[in-house]
Homo-oligomer: A and B are copies of this chain.
Amino acid sequence: MDREALFQQIKKKNSYLCIGLDTDLEKIPQHLRSTADPIFEFNKQIIDATHEYCVAYKPNIAFYEALGPKGWESLQKTMDYIPKGLFTIADAKRGDIGNTSALYARTFFEYFNFDSVTVAPYMGEDSVKPFLYKDKWVILLAHTSNPGSSDFQLIESVVTGRKLYEEVLLKSQRWATPDQLMYVVGATQAEKMESIRAQAPEHFFLVPGIGAQGGDLKMVSQYGMNAQCGLLVNSARAIIYASNGQDFAQRARQEAVNVRDEMARHLQDYYK
């Protein structure tokens, strides 16, 4: 999917919501556990209930890998089930090089047909290049918002005065265009979001880990949006585990609608 198509979908749906399919056997409703493929059955019902209100799905690959070959099959069925036109993200955070990364690219882009894959920058350009396919995307870790993000990402270069995550933002823009490259940018403070947007004005940001409807979404939208929206805001647990009863899909839909409604307001504010 190209950038324009993604933006068109965002405008049409009034949503830049990405739903994280962090599907965990231990967290899905009891009544699904006796089905032949509980993981897929759960995803299927979540997708049915939410696909009108989100623009992307992001299976967290760890959850599928942890189940061995069976998990791989559930992932494949899930990918086949996601309606055409929705953007798909393999949240795999792969960070290898050369031939190895080329194989990861083949797995996620060709075998599973994902639109994008999350990638870690530590090994540099060789970690990014193998993922540059036509109409596919690398989503590179830039500034995450976990506690450990400050361990290395904030180290400031004696040469450039820039922090590590800023070096990642700037250097990687030489390797790929905003039509092939997005960044993972955690919801930190407003000033930081504003400065990151200034350093990568055209790129889409995948923003994980924000409370589904808290002040964070407002801040991220206010300081992170660009002329083509430029945001995919991920919510996983708050939506997919809104209930663990018979009504889980209905409740997931309601949560997705609520987020979509708030996103519609932010889009209107920005594009008014």
**How far apart are A114's CB and chain B's nearest CB, in angstroms?**
13
A69 with B62, Cβ < 8 A, contacts A123-B148, A158-B161 known: no
**Which residues on B sit within 8 Å (CB–CB) of A122?**
95, 120-122, 141, 144, 152-153
> Is the Cβ of A155 less than 8 Å from the Cβ of B164?
yes
A98 with B151, Cβ < 8 A, contacts A69-B69, A111-B68, A141-B122 known: no
Say yes or no for A255: interface residue by CB 8 A criterion: no
> Is the Cβ of A65 less than 8 Å from the Cβ of B107?
yes
CB contacts under 8 Å to B, within A223-261, are none
Say yes or no for A124: interface residue by CB 8 A criterion: yes
Contact string against B for A residues 97-115, beta-carbon threshold 8 Å, 1 for contact and 0 otherwise: 1111101101100010000
Contact of A66 among B65, B111, B148 (CB under 8 A): B111
**Which residues on B sit within 8 Å (CB–CB) of A141?**
95, 122-123
Say yes or no for A147: interface residue by CB 8 A criterion: yes
> Is the Cβ of B62 less than 8 Å from the Cβ of A100?
yes
**Which residues on B sit within 8 Å (CB–CB) of A36?**
none
**Which residues on B sit within 8 Å (CB–CB) of A73?**
69
> Is the Cβ of B124 less than 8 Å from the Cβ of A147?
yes
> Is the Cβ of A167 less than 8 Å from the Cβ of B155?
yes
> Is the Cβ of A66 less than 8 Å from the Cβ of B106?
yes
List chain A positions with a Cβ less than 8 A from chain B.
Answer: 22, 60, 62-63, 65-66, 68-70, 72-73, 76, 93-101, 103-104, 106-107, 111, 120-127, 141, 144, 146-153, 155-159, 161, 164, 167-168, 171
Q: List 12 A-B contacts (CB under 8 A).
A: A65-B107, A97-B144, A97-B146, A120-B122, A122-B144, A123-B149, A123-B153, A124-B150, A125-B148, A152-B167, A152-B168, A156-B159
Pairs of residues from A and B, 7 with the lowest C-beta to C-beta distance, nearest first = A124-B148, A124-B151, A69-B69, A126-B148, A62-B103, A125-B148, A69-B72
